[in-house]
Amino acid sequence: MSDIIHLLPDHVANQIAAGEVVQRPASVVKELLENAIDAKATHIKLLVKDAGKILIQVIDNGFGMSQTDARLAFERHATSKINTAEDLFNLHTKGFRGEALASIAAIAHVELKTKTTSQELGTQINVEGSKVLSQEIISHPIGTSIAVKNLFYNIPARRNFLKSSSIETLHIIDEFQRASLAHPNIDFSFYHNESNVYQLDAGNLRQRIVSVFGKKTNEKLVPINEETELVSISGFIAKPEFAKKKRGEQFFFANNRFIKSNYLNHAISSAFEGLLGSGYHPTYFLYLTVPPNQIDINIHPTKTEVKFENEQSIYAIIKSTIKHSLGQYQVSPILDFEHNNTFDLPYNYKDKMVGLPKIEIDANFNPFNDNFSRNQPTKNWETLYDTADVFENKKENPAITENLFETNPNSSNQVSLQIRNTYILGSIKSGLVMINQNLAHQRILYEEFLTKITLEESTSQALIFPLNINLNHQEIEFIKTMISDFESIGFKFEFKHNDQLVIVGIPVTVKESQIQPILESLLDDLQNQTESSNFSQVDCIAKSLAKNLAVKNGTSLSAKEQESILNNLFSCKEPNISPQGKATFITLSIDDIEKKFKSF
């Protein structure tokens, strides 16, 4: 028999290696972010199109690459980070295997642009399926930009295997969060389909956690700090009452590298023992620092599983440190010594704590119900727009309403006029205001939902007969990934056999008969949300519910209802735009009106 063994050509070997390193778009994101961090960048920008299926680009201001290095970077086992096998035991960088770029270039179209401090001009290299197509000299700022296009273009099986864009996006967000939490001292931004999903300014760890997970997180955090010879532990855990049903917010870092460890996770869960209800998981952001020679990162191509030299001792130290902090926290509340205004997201309702939300939504109100006809507005509206509350509003917020409206001691005499059952015309000091009733009501409801979520006042009504909802597998997966957000607004779900969703509780503002359409439209909005400019899932939920529950244009409104919309709109934080950014009203000044009456 003749010889049958031969060496695989490089591009095939690279494709095989790619199978280990690059499972999905998020893997590319991880590798590119790590390279930027290793290059000591202080600003890192991630641009993604269509969940990374079309484009993943990372732009950094790190130290860049020389012309030769740029070319070598795509070779397998090409790395600047280690020289000898011993170096593996003294790693201070994320990378070291030298296979990420080679793997990525084997299965995508890659465009690299880079320049170092010492060079006048930079380098651009284009590689497709391991083949270098071009290399040019370009002008470029210091740093590196790597754009990865058409991932898996030459491995259709791989490409078809990718999950829905929403799921792939969630994975990308995971990687982005991990990198940004590991390096709060670096500015990170993330754009998906040109909309800015995250804009994280460099700061301390608490600030970073809060800017990633929202202002509300700040008060949940209990600091952890322990220095031992073996390991130092820092970071935060969330107070037990903020534990989650989903495992989402559990972050372990070892020497600033995100790691997965069921073993150490168990140390934390056991420290929380007795403090959490069954099925609840603690939220934590823990940072372990160990001497580099005490940790082996080399056991997995994606470098997230690691081995510690003294794993059992570390387990014990983590457990006792957390127990200690929990005990401390129970006797003395944590002082918020690091308050920073940048935490104040647009909806800072802290100062509104005394007053409850102004509008009480009537549970019987159902815009989907045809009985709620154009011509006979029902009593519901009177409770929906409780005028007593409106007056209270005015008292609390004189700056908003009194400046705008003519001072009128008896507000119910205030005249408004509805035009085409769509526009409400009111008189203001400077002239006239014309409101679009649907857009204005969306703004009112949207802020009301956000208030409720922020104050954690969303109430859920239990359904006597739990509702089975028909959703596809993907949608159910999707809901599972953001269950706590749904809960924050009053939904309660149960999952059966992995593919059946049972609704056991719904927000009080929603009627049972509305659930299916509202949920469907909510899912739609959530899955497309990264295309618009929402800054969080909760924000998107509030927008979607507001859109579905707001009074439609074409609905006849009584004088009281009109007035209520006028007043409540101008008590909003941002009365002039709808949640989607459309104008809610226009004004016509006396000057403008007078001009119209001038002779020609």
The CB-of-94 to Mg ion minimum distance in angstroms stands at 6
Q: Which residues contact 243 (CB under 8 A, 6 or more apart)?
A: 272, 276, 277, 280, 281, 282, 283
Q: Give least dist CB 249 to ligand ADP, A.
A: 28
CA gap 572, 397 in Å, rounded: 10
Closest CA to 567 of 362, 405, 349: 405
Q: Rounded CA gap, 291 and 551, in Å?
A: 62
Question: Do residues 90 and 98 touch, judged by C-beta distance below 8 A?
Answer: no
Residue that is written with structure tokens 């004088």 in the block: 559
Q: Which is nearer to Mg ion, 95 or 301 (CB)?
A: 95
Nearer CB in complex with Mg ion: 25/95: 95
Structure tokens at 549: 């529950």
| Phi, psi for 131 (deg, rounded to 5) | -95, 125
Residue number of the CB atom closest to Mg ion: 95
Which tokens is 237 given? 């855990």
Q: Mask 33-62, x = binds Mg ion (CB under 5 A)?
A: --x---------------------------
User: Which single residue is written with the structure tokens 């007593």?
Assistant: 388
Burial 422-438 (b: 16+ CB within 10 A, else e): bbbbbbbeeebbebbbb
96 is in the binding site of which of Mg ion, ligand ADP, none (Cβ under 5 to 8 A by kind)?
ligand ADP
81 binds, among Mg ion, ligand ADP, none (CB under 5 to 8 A by kind): ligand ADP
560, 384 in Cβ contact below 8 A? no
- Number of residues binding to Mg ion, judged by CB under 5 A: 3
Residue 579 contact partner, candidates Mg ion, ligand ADP, none, CB within 5 to 8 A by sort of partner: none
Binding partner of 168, given Mg ion, ligand ADP, none, CB within 5-8 angstroms per partner class: none
Residue ranges in contact with ligand ADP by CB under 6 A: 31, 35-36, 39, 60, 62, 64-65, 69, 73, 78-81, 95-102, 144
Least distance (Å) between residue 99 CB and ligand ADP:
6
Q: Which is nearer to ligand ADP, 97 or 319 (CB)?
A: 97
Cβ density class 439-448: b for 16+ within 10 Å, e for less = bbbbbbbbbb
Q: Which is nearer to Mg ion, 36 or 445 (CB)?
A: 36
Write down the least CB distance from residue 306 to ligand ADP, Å.
Answer: 16
* Whole-angstrom distance, CA of residue 135 vs CA of residue 355: 64
Site string for Mg ion, 93-132 (x = CB under 5 A): --x----x--------------------------------
CB of 45 to ligand ADP, least distance (A): 12
CA distance 57 to 69: 19
Smallest separation, CB 158 to Mg ion (Å): 21
Nearer to ligand ADP, 80 or 164 (CB): 80
**Of the two residues 292 and 357, which places its CB atom closer to ligand ADP in the complex?**
292
What are 305's two structure tokens? 């599983």
Binding-site ranges for Mg ion (CB under 5 A): 35, 95, 100
